[in-house]
Amino acid sequence: MKCVIFPGQGSQFLGMGKDLFDKFPEEVELYNSILGYSLKELCLSDPKQQLKQTNYTQPSIFAVNHLSYLEYLKENDAPDYLAGHSLGEYNALLASQVFDFETGLRLVKRRGELMANATEGGMAAVLGMPLAKIVELIEKHSLNDIEIANINTDLQVVISGKKKAIEESAELFTSNGARYVVLPVSGAFHSTLMQESKITFQSFLTEYTFSKPQIPVISNITARPYKEIAIDKTLSEQITSSVKWSESVQFMMFKGVNGFEEIGPGKVLTSLVSQIKNNAVGLDLYFDEDEEKKESEIQYRSELPETKPKANVASDSGKLLLELTPNQLGSPKFLERYNVKYPYVSGSMYRGIASKEMVVAMGLNGFIGFLGTGGLSDSVIEESIVFIKDQLGSSHPFGVNLLHNEDNPDYENKMVELYLKHDIRNIEASAFITISEALVLYRLKGVSRFLDGSIRIRNHILAKVSRPEIAELFLRPAPKDIVDNLVSTGKLTKEEGELSTHVSLAGEICIEADSGGHTDAGNLCVLLPAIKYLEDRISRKYNYSEKILVGAAGGIGTPSAAAAAFILGADFILTGSINQCSIEAAISEEVKDILETINVQDTAYAPAGDMFEMGAKVQVLKKGVLFPYRANKLYNLYKEHNGIDDIDKLILTQLEKRFFKKTLDEVWAEISTYLIQGKKEELEMAERSPKYKMALIFKWYFNYSTKIALSGSVDDKVNYQVHCGPSLGAFNEWVSGTGLSSWRNRNVHVMAQKILKETCLLLKEQIKAMSSKSEQY
């Protein structure tokens, strides 16, 4: 079996194609008309010194490659496989009749223009150093601005990234035994710095249709054959993804290819193939007889710097080792569904502590974050949404919280109306104990069928739950009575109502274990398996077209905790408390100064202000404040007395002096003024019920304690109410003595990236240790 391979940018030279142009005049004329200049003149004389400029280089190499292949076919049969290095992949697709020469020219012309406009980065070749060692150095030295671009052979790797980082990394690699060559390119090709180019090109590709490959074409980003349904997506992803040349060649060797013919200018790829063949051993350790099934399951999506490559020739002993990377954690479905690069979510925190700035920082860096909306006015929420959409545009995902309000369903309806108005596609549903009409309306709005009969779901609900019976409500389809009412009132169409039985209410369930704020103090090791079993049973019963994903939250603040969650089967993880002690969190610096010093024992449980009478609990900061003790004191007084007048006068004086900082009469005057403005029924109830009045007065303290924490009132720090779980204490302990020990250095996305990187390192070490032990037996 044989494969024809096509070179990419870098193979050009003055004089290339000189024996071809006169043999194929129609193709040359087509090139000239589309590109607007002479191909022959550019390649043979280059009078304007343009041949090395990306927007001229790429179309000219593509054309010379194609003419070379036409000449090749005059005396040779079509190959069994086709492949190309970066740009060369377009020639492989052309040779496989995925598109014609004219379409290819237009695609490559646009690709070259976009890549030429990327001038903020650089690239370097790292020679003589195994890939695994390069990845290790990048991770060990936190080279966050460097990514793996080309894996040409095990000892020839190209890195890409910010120009300064590329230049400054030379000493690190050379001191570790590598030869380091900075490449004469203007951009950080095949890296996430090309994201904007990728997005623009992806939109451009929608103007074209592609045919099924007639000969298998090996994709750079997957090292497996192209699939017809993913051609346009794979082409756009190639701009930001690693070129897995070494793995591509090894895959074809495994499939029986023994001859590789390079078609086009130069013989760079021929040399690389020779090196790969000489060093490739133990292919059966990576590839197996079920490889065809694996090919059909490949996910085509963007990859992180850390996620590239998925599998590499990685050890001096010649064995193929898997390099665990963040995109292999959790579920690829989560990355695809939310269009993110990491299986990691920053959850909402009330009063906008999960701020618009936090959501933007997460979205711009490959994550999804949810805006905290509880306790905020409608206008502030809308302003935040407008800000986020303006900053993130249409290419970066984000979400908004929807907080359950049992006493005021109109609030939920108003929020959903706002979210639909702004085309919010992702919401985080929290504190729900029943299914409301607002939730059902949001989930089902826009549900329809594609032409092939599959169901299209526009709106995603990520439901945070801490009990199996609540999880079950979200795992099942929306209640029929609610759906029927929405259809009868015209809020849902008849089709949306009919399709409701095929759609789970939530697309994602996030299990909250012992978390900050409202908590049932659950155990993740118990809850996650139980709810995953529940999800599997319900999904099989209803045969949903979209898989329900199950994530983990609560107690996750270190790589060890994240690793445990993923090992338990979490499709994604969600963090909250640790993000409160970050630059982007909208809470006072005074609170952050305290939070960065806490340990795991520095939180406590207190009554929840919004569910005071029910005795619900929240987990709060204990170190340096008296709020948890005072909140519990108020709840005990509420349980033991029928009204304020029943409480000892001395105790009331203490409450006024230490808790409320004003008289109870003044507190009640404030409450009465507020209730008169819109909640007169509550005021009337308080006048009839001394105990209810007492509850309202005590709940004022909870609102006050939150306000002073948010604002950073320095005169009354002991009364700060700060929702927080012990995961922050664990995070503080983990980063102690590093640059992240101060919250002033903690960007929320940097914290997230560090956790995921270290999670991968931890799991690899554990796997390595277990493998070593197994060999002893």
For residue 683, the SS3 value is: helix
CA–CA gap between residue 514 and residue 618 (Å, rounded): 10
CA distances from residue 379 to 198, 376, 384, 570 in whole angstroms, order as listed: 35, 8, 9, 36
Q: Are the beta carbons of 7 and 220 closer than 8 angstroms?
A: no
Tell me the catalytic residues.
86, 190
Q: Which two tokens stand for residue 704?
A: 């006050």
- Count of other CB atoms within 10 angstroms of residue 493: 16
Q: 507, 378, 385, 396: which is closest to 442 by C-alpha?
A: 507
- Count of other CB atoms within 10 angstroms of residue 717: 18
- Count of other CB atoms within 10 angstroms of residue 186: 17
In Å, how far from its chain's centre is CA 47?
A: 47
β-pairing verdict for 156-162 and 146-153:
antiparallel
CA distances from residue 269 to 42, 84, 238, 243, 275 in whole angstroms, order as listed: 24, 9, 18, 13, 10
Half-sphere exposure of 529 (CA within 13 A, CB side): 6
Q: What is the chain's length?
A: 777
CA–CA gap between residue 254 and residue 721 (Å, rounded): 62
Q: List Cβ neighbours of 137 (8 Å cut-off, separation of 6 or more).
A: 143, 172, 173, 176
Q: Are the beta carbons of 353 and 369 closer than 8 angstroms?
A: no
What string of H, E and C letters represents the secondary structure of 317-362?
A: CCCEEECCCHHHCCCHHHHHHHCCCCCEEECCCHHHCCCHHHHHHH
Please measure the distance between the N-terminal and C-terminal CA atoms of the chain and give it in whole angstroms: 42
Q: Which two tokens stand for residue 10?
A: 């870098």
CA–CA gap between residue 419 and residue 384 (Å, rounded): 12
Angle at 24 between CA 22 and CA 26, to 5 degrees: 115
CA–CA gap between residue 300 and residue 310 (Å, rounded): 13
Q: Which two tokens stand for residue 418?
A: 């706002």
CA–CA gap between residue 251 and residue 514 (Å, rounded): 46
Q: Are the beta carbons of 566 and 329 closer than 8 angstroms?
A: yes
CA–CA gap between residue 755 and residue 565 (Å, rounded): 13
For residue 303, the SS3 value is: coil
β-pairing verdict for 448-449 and 455-456:
antiparallel
Half-sphere exposure of 75 (CA within 13 A, CB side): 3
Q: Which two tokens stand for residue 712?
A: 């950073």
Q: 583, 418, 574: which is closest to 511 by C-alpha?
A: 574
